[in-house]
Amino acid sequence: MTDSIHQRKAEHIQITLNEKVTGNHITTGLERVRFIHNALPEIDFNEISLESKFVNQTRKTPFMISSMTGGAAFAETINRNLAIAAEEKGWIFALGSMRALIESEEHRASFQVRQYAPTVPIIANLGAVQLNYGFGVDQCRQIIEMTDSNALVLHLNSLQEVIQPNGDLNFKDLLPKIEELTKTVGVPVGVKEVGWGIDGETAKRLCDVGVSFIDVAGAGGTSWSQVEKHRSNDPIKRIAAETFSVWGNPTVDCIVSVREKIGDQSIVASGGMYTGLDAAKSIALGANIVGFGRSILKEATQSVEDVITVMETKELELRMAMFGIGAATIAELQNSDRVQYKEL
C-alpha cells in the first residue's frame, strides 16, 4: 500500500507537469471581471502595501503556495525550493496531502521543510475522507507536530476518489468529525476543494462548525479528474473522467458566493490562478489570500531562484493593478468600487 501511494504522488507530479490537466470548456470566470482604470491614482507606487490579514494574523503579502506535493523522492526537491522561496518572500506555504507521512517513513523529509522556512506559516494537509478511514484527532496532531505546521487544511476530493484506483468513497458524516477536529486539534482548521469549487452554502455549513478558513479551489485550473484519467487503466473511468472535465463551480463565482455567506472569515482564492492581476481580481471580489499551484510547479523543479522570479512577477502585477485603480492597501482593493463582475 505504501509503495502505491508514493508511486501515485510521483505520477501526479509528472502528469501535472507534462499533460493537459485543465478542464474542457470551463474557466475560472476571471475573464468576467475587470477593473475601471484610474488615470489619476493619487498614490505613490512605492508606498503600496501588500500587507494582508489571514486567520486574524497580519501577513507580508496576500499570497500562498497552494498544496501540491509530498511523499515522493522528487517532491523533496520541489518542496525545499518552495519553502526557501516562501521564507524569502513571506508567502504562506501549504503542503501536499500528508496521509503518506503517517503510513510510511519513506520520503518523510519531503514534508518536513520547517528548517527552510522558519518564520512563515506552514499548513498541513489531509484528505477529509480519511476521517472515515482510521484517521482522527491523534493522527492529525501527529502530522501537525511532525511538520511544525501552524494550521491544518482538509481537502474535499470526492470526484477524484471515484476516478482514482482504489479510491476512498465513503463521504458520509464528515461534518461532525470536522467539527470535532476544529475543537480539539489545537490549530486553525481550514477546508479546501481540489479544483471543483466550494459554494457559499457549503462554506457556511463548514464555518458554522468551527472551520477557520475556506480555500475555494474552484474550477478553471487543474482538474483532478483529468489528472487521474492519465493514470487510469480502466477505460470506463477514463471516459467518465473526460465527461466530468466540464464539471465544477468557477473560481470567481465561488469567491463571491462564499463571501456572501461567511461574513468576514478568511477566504483563499485558488483554482486557475496564474498572475498578479488574477490575484487582484480575486481580492477585489472578497478573497483574503490567493493561492498559486501549478503556475509555479515547473519553476519549483528547477531552482529557488526561478521560483522567486515567478513570485516577484506576481507581486509586481498585483501592485500594478492596485496602482491602476488607486488602491494603496489591500483593504482599499477589497473595498474598491472600480471592479466590475458579470455573473453567469
99 is in an annotated binding site: yes
76 is an annotated ligand-binding site residue: no
342 is in an annotated binding site: no
**Annotation-wise, does 275 bind a ligand?**
no
4 a known binding residue?
Answer: no
Q: Is 67 annotated as a binding residue?
A: yes
Q: Does residue 159 sit in helix, strand or coil?
A: helix
Query: Could you tell me whether strands 57-59 and 52-54 are parallel, antiparallel, or unpaired per DSSP bridges?
Result: antiparallel
Whether residue 192 is annotated as binding a ligand: the answer is yes
Phi and psi for 153 in degrees, rounded to 5? -115, 135
Helix (H) or strand (E) holding 33: strand 33-35
| 125 annotated ligand binder | yes
- Helix, strand and coil content of the chain, in percent to the nearest 5, comes to 50, 15, 40
Residue 1 known to bind ligand: no
d(CA 58, CA 56): 7
User: Is 172 annotated as contributing to ligand binding?
Assistant: no
Do residues 64 and 92 make contact, with C-beta atoms less than 8 angstroms apart?
yes
Given a contact cutoff of 8 angstroms between Cβ atoms, the answer to whether 289 and 52 are in contact is: yes
DSSP 106: T
For cell 474542457, name the residue. Answer: 24
On whether 9 is known to bind a ligand per the annotation, the reply is yes
Instruction: Check whether 46 is labelled as a binding-site residue.
Output: no
- Annotated binding-site residues for substrate read 8-9, 97-99, 160
- Annotated binding-site residues read 8-9, 66-69, 97-99, 125, 160-161, 192, 222
- Annotated binding-site residues for FMN read 66-69, 97, 125, 192, 222
- Annotated binding-site residues for Mg(2+) read 161
